[in-house]
Structure 1
Amino acid sequence: MSIVIDEATLTFTLNTRSATYQMEVDPHGYLLHLYYGTRSKGRMDYLITYADRSGMCATPHDVRDRTWSLDWLPQEFPFDGAGDMRSPLIRVRDARGIYGCDLRYVRHEVREGKYALPGMPAVYDEGPADGAQTLSVTLADPRIGLEVELLYGVMPELDVICRAAVVRNAGAEPFTVDRLQTACLDFTHGNFDVITFSGRHAMERRLDRHYADHGSFRVGSRRGMSSGQYNPFMILCDRNATENSGRAWSMSFVWSGGFDAEAERSQYAETRMQMGLADDRFSYPLAPGEELIAPEVIMTYSATGLGTLSQNLHRCIRTRVVRGEWRDRPRPVLLNSWEAYYFDFTGDKLVELAEKAAELGIEMLVMDDGWFGARSDDFRALGDWYVNEEKLGGTLHELVERVNALGLKFGIWVEPEMVSEDSNLYRTHPDWALAIPGKDPVLGRDQLVLDFSRKEVRDNIYEQLCAVFDQANIDYVKWDCNRNIVDLYSATATDQGRVLYDYTRGLYDVLERLVQRYPHILFEGCSAGGCRFDAGMLYYTPQIWTSDNTDAVNRLAIQYGTSFGYPASTMGAHVSACPNEINWRTTPISARGTVAMAGGGFGYELDLLDLPERACEHIKQQIALYHKIEGVVREGSYFRLSGPADEACAWEFVSEDGSMAVVGMVLLLIEGYGAARYVTPRGLTPGAFYRELTTGAVFAADALMDSGFPLPVNAEPYMGRIYRFERL
């Protein structure tokens, strides 16, 4: 059994394939955290020490024991109001505006299968074969009628434990939740590093590693979206942890709105890691009988380094977060029209581009921004989702039929959460935008944000999109989102503190209706590139545009950081023209193709009609190679062999049965008469031999994993190369 309960001591033990998680209800009714680490047996309550540590200890009135205080005890769901001065998960105001609660154990229940969260993304199970179980533990404060149901979803074969919480008003008076986070891990001792992923538009998810010293290290997003500045994913690890050794724990937030993630080292050298909703502009009133869901956090543990931690998350997200027809299918190689034409295209131009794409082996044409309403630039027409037939030279149906006749699928770009002031929608319904009365609105990319917390707004956008998608054979939709939420005012909200939470729930409502109505469409998430790359969006969009920056060298760092928490199958990655339009660097097409083929959504962003014949031949060769390796890239175990700060950045995919390995690398340092450089694969079958399929050379797996193989000594700058090893 994944969940084992000692009813006599109220000790709850959750077991996955390699890890054990344990907590207990203490004699005073508080739920204490005991252990999360290597799989083990027995009770770990001995890890908690009791002593009179300070004359300033905070002890509940009915405890009267100076060796006992929540200010140092490790907890499962710390709350504001019982003497714990560390960062809490929940803060509540009662009907009189008084802060403070006292949450104690009430009941528990075990259910078969993994819990689901109504209207929200969450890890799912696929029946008894997954062995999933759910533990529900309810805490309560009867004084204010507060109940918190803690949900633990154990996915033993994936080596992950999921947590969520449901806050309920079971009393007779309203109260307000001013802070709500989902999960924490309390460590009684240890010296740790905290790893987070920072960035900005066009340079997302760069790895940051810091010592978790005394005080609090916090990252988060106040932007209304999960953001490219900080990703809702955090790792805590031993100070000496590497890819292959050391202990590591991670939290991944299944939420696309604002978040907070924190690592706090206390006065007694305890460390608390926690994650949940952002406090910023959040206050959620609950009337009697109402409830509020704290979104899911995915947790995993590795005793063998950061590589295993990532592989656990990759399997979980790829197979039990991503859903639908495209979860396990090869994604079509696509050509996006943006960098070829920007807004300046016609239907005939798109068909001409599609003809060249078909000749090179590309499988889908995507029509980007500019096809709707009066959209001739990015100052107008967002919100007017009807086809500009004059621009296309006919109906959308006719254009798609022409492209399909060439053997290509057809995709389309949308940005449904936004509205232009110069649009029919805004002129008709100005109150549908989030804007503060009497204050000039803050614009981003000359657009406002639609109020997706309102059902009538969501219904209008949903119906407009359906009217477009129903016109033609649409196979792919790129869902963009190009600004953050600044002005927070909803014309119909009873409390503005609930709007950001309700906005994200509203976004999920629209996406869920669309993916259910159009199960054949491959939806790709995008937010000015990769500024909303999170597990919540991946529940609806099987892949996300990793960054607007397609420069091969910058992408090495972006995709490297992304790989710590997300599988390659979720990363949209394309080859674009050089010099690159963002940083003006020129890299060989071999490097651009090598880096882009490390993602599951491979394609091109350039004008094929402007390419020399040699480049076209390269594209044909790249597409042929991609078809040979895409199954291993999409489903294989991923290894970071070296990073973007090394002389050569290298990575590897190994098939589940070990029969095939794909190693990609880009050479970053070129020196005159330089030393030889080597790449050392991992994850091969010990004792076996592998043939490199390009050269035919045969290698012993053990020697390869020990000493590696040499890279070319005389190489062009930024040379990119892919090696394929087949087990003999």
Structure 2
Amino acid sequence: MSIQYEEKNRLFVLETRRTSYAMAVNGDNRLQHLYWGEKLPYASDYTLTAVPELASQESTLDVASLEYPGWAGIYYAEPCLKTTFADGVRDVVLEVAGHRVAEGAAPELCIELRDARYGLAVELHYRIYEELDLIERWVVLTNGGDRAVAVESAQSAQWSVPGNHSYRFTHLAGKYFHEMQLRRVPLTEGKKVIESRRSNTGHHQNPWFALDRGNATETAGPVWFGALAWSGSWKITAEVTPFYEVRVTGGMNDFDFGYRLEPGAKLETPAFIGGFSAEGFGEASRLLHRHQLTNVLPKEHAGNLRKVLYNSWEATYFDVSEKDQGAIAEKAAAMGVELFVVDDGWFGQRHHDRAGLGDWYVNPDKFPNGLKPLIDRVHGLGMDFGIWVEPEMVNPDSDLYRAHPDWVIHFPGRARTEARNQLMLNLARRDVREYIFDFMNRLLSDHDIQFVKWDMNRPISEPGWPELPADRQKEIWVEYVRGLYEIVDRLKAAHPAVVFESCSSGGGRVDLGILRRMDQTWPSDNTNALERLKIQEGYSYGYAAKTMMAWVTDNSADWLPLSYRFHCAMMGSLGIGGNLHHWSDEKLAEATRLIGDYKAIRHLVQEGLLYRLLSPGEGKQTTAVQYVAPDQTEAVLFVLAVHQSNADPLPPVYLQGLEPDRLYRVDGQDRPVSGRSLMSQGLPVRLEGAFQSRLIRIASV
């Protein structure tokens, strides 16, 4: 049983293949966290310890961790729940009221807490992914009273790890064009906060974290980790109490947050998944990757390999026409491209980024016969057809805005701040949701489209919702994201054959919430292959390679070889975005060969186990990434130089994840060698000249 309850000690133990998670009801009828980590053998290993007597300035809750603390009593650490009741009482005292268990492939435990006086119920949900050592948590609030409750913070979970004063916090930071940069900082007393207040996931932080005791590596050491499934404003707080209790709390951002919970109403928080690995950061990543491939990605396309994509943006920008797009499609198809995508500029009066956004009709001057002739031509070339949209936005210079200026997010009497010359439609409104669903549904119903690139090119400002009473307008942070999810869910249900890609000026919307609805993401507008290596490395800590679109473009084409740019992009789902009109016959022929190479190994990249062997951020001459088939019968290794000079001989690359006693044949070697040899003696790799790269296939004999 993965969920166990011991009645005598009121003890809950959740077990996965290699981990356990324990909590118990204490003498005050409060749910107290006991343990999370490597699996322990006996129920007696989990005990409620007596809290020592403390000075009046200290809090016992800094020593004994509650599982889901409400703000109440002598408590000054990060709470999970903060409310104001109708009579002005501003704390919440949560006591255990019962529990239930649902068995199945992913068993669930629900523990019900209730406020000691008011009718507020809090259901703590735990879903167990036993083979992946993961626990998914979320909370459902229900107002069982007869008066409204103002919710000021409702977090998804608080993760407590064994107390220690030397934890290290790993997260992904950056900014536009430099997303997903790996950061590691020691935790001391106090709080380390990563967050987005921008209404999207954000470029500056990502809702993924890892904790270790300062000495874990890629291959060894205990690591606790988690990822939040929310595509709006979020916050994760890592806190060390004065008594070295270490906790990570996360969920919807409580900045400018407010939710009026009417009698009988519910509020469900986003899921927050957590896991433990005793085998370092590499295994922690692989557990999350397998979870995404098997449990998160939309089922319609989760098992399909991503097609090689061409996107026309860099070739034409807004100067889109049927004739030119068709000419580019001819060249793309000849290279072996499988999916042709028309980017921005095909609709409305969209000749630049200052007008037309929101007017979703096919521009009659650019496509006098509509999109069908181009779509038919693309299909006739053996490719799928895809299109770019940005449904959540509007230009002030558009028919839509002139007709519905009230549809944008704004404060009455304040200027409406533009970014990229556009404003945000209020997806919290029902009429706006229906407008977006209607035009997208007609676009996909009237045209034979197989792929949608869904973009979002600005964050929120002036977050007003004037149609609501003042005490409810802060609900926009929740209802906007719910609106987005509802629209995409409806479109996916109506058009299950269409693949969706999430984009937000690059990596502004990468999280497990959007990946439940969209099949892949665009992690950065930065396509410089050398800089992209760090972005892709950071991405791999939290997200699977199959979900990551990676393009070969003309960025850095004057100094990085085409093969180098391809090898970098082959480490995800491959796309091409360069201007094919400017590619020579020799370059087109080389690209054709490299696309063929990718098709031969993409099943390993997209569905295999990823091993980060050499990091591009550690000052080494090379970076190396390996992908291994789940059955260990084959692998592919990418080695890329990250410095201009490589005059010194390169050390061997030590492979991982192979079956030790199996023989493997390696590209370029005359005789097979054992997996143990490749992992213990390493593989010699020679790179000739500056910024060279190698793709090496390894297959069992």
Normalising by the smaller structure, the TM-score range is over 0.9
Letter of the 1:625 partner, please give it.
D
Distance in 1 of aligned mates of 2:508 and 2:594: 28
Once the 2 structures are TM-superposed, how far is the Cα of residue 665 of structure 1 from its aligned partner? 1.7
Matched, 1:596 2:573: no
Give the 5 Å matches for 1:49-448. Answer: 49-58=50-59, 69-113=60-104, 131-190=105-164, 191-448=166-423
**Cα deviation per residue 1:32-60 (whole Å; 9 max; x = unaligned)?**
111111112324444735211223345xx
User: CA, structure 1 residues 486+672, in 2 after alignment: closer, same or farther (shift >3 Å)?
Assistant: closer
SS at match of 2:542: coil
Summarize the Cα distance change of 1:693–1:47 in structure 2 as closer, same or farther, 3 Å threshold. Answer: farther
Matched, 1:28 2:28: yes
Q: Secondary structure at the match of 1:564?
A: helix
User: Which residue among 589, 603, 607 is the counterpart of 1:631?
Assistant: 603
How much does 1:688 deviate? Answer: 1.6
Distance 2:379 2:246 in 1: 57
Aligned residue for 2:206, secondary structure, equals coil
Question: Is the CA contact 1:666–1:719 (under 8 Å) kept in the aligned structure 2?
Answer: yes
- 8 Å Cα contact 1:479/1:526 also seen in 2: yes
Q: Does 1:706 align with 2:680?
A: yes
Return the TM-score normalized by structure 1: 0.94
Per the alignment, residue 565 of structure 1 pairs with: 542
Q: Check conservation: 1:382, 1:418, Cα contact below 8 A.
A: yes
Report Cα offsets for 1:171-206 as digits up to 9, x if no partner. Answer: 122111101111112235222100110011111110
Q: For 1:437 and 1:302, how far apart are their aligned partners in 2? A: 51
- The 1:705–1:330 alpha-carbon spacing in structure 2 relative to 1, beyond 3 Å, is same
TM superposition shift of 1:382:
1.1
Change (3 A) 1:451 1:673: closer
**Structure-2 residue corresponding to 1:4:** 4
Aligned-residue CA RMSD (Å): 1.4
Conservation of the 8 A alpha-carbon contact between 1:48 and 1:188: no
**Counterparts of 1:285 and 1:557, CA distance in 2:** 43
Residues 257 and 504 in structure 1, CA contact (< 8 A), matched pair in contact too: yes
Q: 2:654 aligns with which of 658, 671, 680?
A: 680
Which of residues 417, 421, 436 is equivalent to 1:461? 436
What is the letter of the counterpart of residue 535 of structure 2?
I
Q: How many Å apart are 1:572 and its aligned residue?
A: 0.5
User: One-letter code of the match for 1:93?
Assistant: T
Q: Does 1:548 align with 2:525?
A: yes
Seen in structure 2, the aligned counterparts of structure 1 residues 449 and 697 have a Cα distance that, compared at 3 Å, is farther
Contact 1:112–1:133 (CA under 8 A) maintained in structure 2: yes
SS in 2 for 1:458: helix
> In structure 2, how many angstroms separate the alpha carbons of the residues matched to 1:214 and 1:44?
28
Alpha-carbon displacement from aligned partner over 1:539-586 (angstroms, at most 9, x marks no partner): 111100121111111110001001011010100001001436xxxx73
Tell me if structure 1 keeps the 8 A contact 2:62–2:242. Answer: no
Amino acid at match of 2:25: V
SS in 1 for 2:301: coil
* Cα distance per residue 1:378-432 (max 9 Å; x no partner): 0111111111132123111222112111111110000001111011111111100
Q: Is the 8 Å Cα contact of residues 35 and 162 (structure 2) preserved in structure 1?
A: no
Task: Note if 1:611 corresponds to 2:612.
Answer: no
SS at match of 2:599: helix
Q: CA deviation at 1:317?
A: 1.0
- Contact 1:196/1:209 (8 A) holds in 2: yes
1:663-682: per-residue Cα shift (whole Å, max 9, x none)?
A: 11211134374233321110
Per-residue displacement from partner, 1:277-319 (whole Å, max 9, x unpaired)? 1011101111111111111001111011111111110000111
Tell me the equivalent position of 2:700.
727
Shift of 1:716: 2.5
Pair 1:527 & 2:493 matched: no
Aligned pairs, number: 695
Structure 1 residues 235 and 623, CA gap change in structure 2 (3 angstroms): same
- Contact kept, 8 Å, 1:493 with 1:499, in 2: the verdict is no
Give the secondary structure class of the aligned counterpart of 2:320. Answer: coil
Equivalent position SS for 2:443 = helix
Which of 671, 686, 690 pairs up with 1:717? 690
Contact 2:189 2:242 in 1 (8 A): yes
Q: Take 1:35 and 1:143, find their aligned partners in 2: how far apart are those partners?
A: 29
3-state SS of paired residue (1:241): coil
Residue 486 (structure 2) aligned to one of 478, 491, 509:
509
CA contact (8 A) 1:242 1:306 kept: yes
Seen in structure 2, the aligned counterparts of structure 1 residues 688 and 30 have a Cα distance that, compared at 3 Å, is: same
Residue 608 of structure 1 and its aligned partner are, at CA, apart by: 1.3
Which amino acid is the alignment partner of residue 560 of structure 2?
T
Correspondence 1:37 to 2:37: yes
Is contact 1:105-1:137 (8 Å) kept?
yes
| Structure 1 residues 629-656: Cα deviation after superposition (integer angstroms, max 9, x where no partner) | 1111111111110111232111111001
Structure 2 counterpart of 1:487, from 462, 472, 481? 462
Distance 1:673-1:418 versus aligned 2 partners, 3 A rule = closer
Q: Which amino acid is the alignment partner of residue 89 of structure 1?
A: C
Superimposed CA distance per residue, residues 571-613 of structure 1 (whole angstroms, 9 cap, x where no aligned partner): 0001001436xxxx731111111111110x2110011121012
Q: Secondary structure of 2:111's match?
A: strand
Counterpart selection for 1:649 from 623, 626, 630:
623
Going from structure 1 to structure 2, the CA distance change for 1:339 and 1:694 (only over 3 Å counts) comes to farther
Letter in 1 for 2:696: Y
Give the residue type in structure 1 aligned to 2:206: N
Change (3 A) 1:52 1:366: same
Equivalent residue letter for 2:98: R
* Counterpart contact for 1:82–1:101, Cα < 8 Å: no
Q: Distance in 2 between matches of 1:252 and 1:672?
A: 38
Question: 2:594, 2:520 → 1: CA distance?
Answer: 21
Q: Which moved more, 1:490-499 or 1:667-676?
A: 667-676
Aligned to 1:18: 18
Q: CA deviation at 1:625?
A: 0.8
Name the CA distance, whole Å, in 2 between partners of 1:432 and 1:696: 67
| Preserved contact between residue 81 and residue 92 of structure 2 (Cα < 8 Å) | no
Question: Which SS does the other structure have where 2:509 is aligned?
Answer: coil
Amino acid at match of 2:554: A
The CA distance in 2 between the partners of 1:48 and 1:690, in whole Å, is 53
Aligned-partner residue type, residue 605 of structure 2: V
1:253·1:295 contact (CA, 8 Å) conserved in 2? Answer: yes
In structure 2, distance between residues paired with 1:83 and 1:627: 61
Q: Aligned partners of 2:56 and 2:425: how far apart in 1?
A: 54
